[in-house]
Amino acid sequence: MKKTLLIASSVVLSFFIIEFFAAEKAHADSALGIVIGDPTGVSGRTSLNGAHSLEGAIAYSFGHYDGTEIHGTYLWDRARSFATKEGPIEMYYGLGARVIFINSGKHDGEVAVGPRAPLGVLYNFHNPNIEVFGEIAATLDIVPATDVDLDLGIGFRVRF
């Protein structure tokens, strides 16, 4: 079973890596930074075009399962915009996958895998090139046990 999980995780991660390098970047910008909450760690995002992007993180999860988390998500950007004097606050949503390498509790040493669906807001500063975001993500863990988890995080990324 662990071999099947490893293969499934590799396929999902490979998909996001291929999309990252093969996609036309008409609205080319990428960003790297941190997310704080559940999970807490390094977060990255790259635009595919003006309406879609890929987002991912390598972080530590403090939620239902404690352990190292890797997630990747395909995002629909600018789902809705809220005007401010300084510029728009943009809402996004997405669909992806999450893997947690559990290191405590009764599932210690196992791997949690499931689809992930975030909803978030993002604000871009232009000088310096920083984006600030907040997101809530629902995840349905399929293994090691079927369970619903809700993650909440805020963070910032430097655009380049």
The predicted-structure confidence for 5-15, as pLDDT tens digits, reads as follows: 455 555 555 55
The predicted-structure confidence for 12-43, as pLDDT tens digits, reads as follows: 555 555 555 554 444 458 999 999 999 999 99
The pTM score is 0.80
Higher pLDDT, 18 or 113: 113
Dihedral sign from CA coordinates of 23, 35, 10, 116: negative
pLDDT number for residue 16 = 52
Report percent pLDDT > 70 for the chain. Answer: 82
How far apart CA 35 and CA 92 sit, in angstroms, is 16
* All domains of the chain in start order, with CATH: 2-159 (2.40.160.20)
The band of 50, judged by pLDDT with boundaries at 50, 70 and 90, is confident
